Amino acid sequence: MTSAFALPKQPPTPATEPRLKPDAALQTLDLSKDYGDGMGLTTELDLVIGKGELVMLVGPNGAGKSTFLGLAAGMLEPTNGWAFIAGSPAGTVPARAALSYLPDNPVLYDDLSLGEHIEYIARLHKTVDWQDYADDLVDMFGLGDRIDDLPSRFSRGLKQKTGLILGLIRPFTVMLVDEPFVGLDTPGQETLVEIMSDVVAQGATIICSTHQLDLVPAATRCVGLRDGELAYDGPATAAKIRELVGGE
């Protein structure tokens, strides 16, 4: 009788996988996620992103951008391969400790004010001296007069600003951001570009799914996906981004 039990697949290590670079901020090895309908990340992806990079993740709808970020965050189970954050397999405790992941739809509590959200996340992740930093972020995003309000009742743009503040208030070395500019007003977009530039200048790595051209001067690199596979990996230029998203 054949047992149906199978041990979990063990992640590769530098000793067993010479391609693995433990000093990379984010690395994928043969990574894919096939939903069975031709969507997702259908071609195995090998990618190395170094420390201090600001990478624009670009492609048309359905290209696999959100799937890639979900795999890198450990929120999705790959069909094949691995993703590593700061040398640790995605989804493990060390990887989650190093990572700040901002999905395109922020997850907020119904009964916590903006200020209570910030304090909860800061204390949960043991952020040191978080109060002054939180005040700065709230002021930069223009939410000083909403600190006691419930973000669950905010507009899409204000929820987006709240999610960004919560993602930034915790310690991280790698940040994954999915379409953060959607719904933001012009001052909010300008603030986000400024903050991302400052974060990267301090040595953190950001992978941002967006075709926001205002981010191009700050970006160190562009990774383009199309039809679930890598279409481009090189300098970020306005012309290349327009091409990758289909002329937008």
- Residue in this structure with the two tokens 């981004």, named with its chain if needed: 241
- Residue in this structure with the two tokens 């395109």, named with its chain if needed: 104
Q: What is the pLDDT of residue 1?
A: 54
Q: pLDDT band at residue 66, thresholds of 50, 70 and 90?
A: very high
- The answer to whether residue 2 scores a pLDDT higher than 80 is no
Q: Rounded CA gap, 25 and 145, in Å?
A: 37
User: Which residue would you say has higher pLDDT here, 177 or 37?
Assistant: 177
* Across 199-210, average pLDDT: 96
* Across 92-96, average pLDDT: 96
Question: How much is the mean pLDDT over the chain?
Answer: 93
Helices (H), the chain: 65-73, 93-98, 114-124, 130-140, 156-169, 186-201, 238-244
* Across 131-156, average pLDDT: 95
Q: pLDDT band at residue 4, thresholds of 50, 70 and 90?
A: low
Share of the chain above pLDDT 90, in %: 82
Helices (H), 9-103: 65-73, 93-98
Side chain identity, residue 145: D
Q: Rounded CA gap, 87 and 89, in Å?
A: 7
* Across 9-33, average pLDDT: 89
Residue 94 has a CB neighbour count (10 Å cut-off) of: 12
Least confident of 12-26, 77-91, 200-214: 12-26
Least confident of 6-15, 57-66, 122-131, 139-148: 6-15
Pairing mode, strands 221-226 and 88-89: unpaired
- The answer to whether residue 99 scores a pLDDT higher than 70 is yes
- The answer to whether residue 248 scores a pLDDT higher than 60 is no
* CATH fold for domain 26-244: Rossmann fold (3.40.50)
- The answer to whether residue 9 scores a pLDDT higher than 80 is no
* Across 224-233, average pLDDT: 94
Q: pLDDT band at residue 39, thresholds of 50, 70 and 90?
A: confident
- The answer to whether residue 40 scores a pLDDT higher than 90 is no
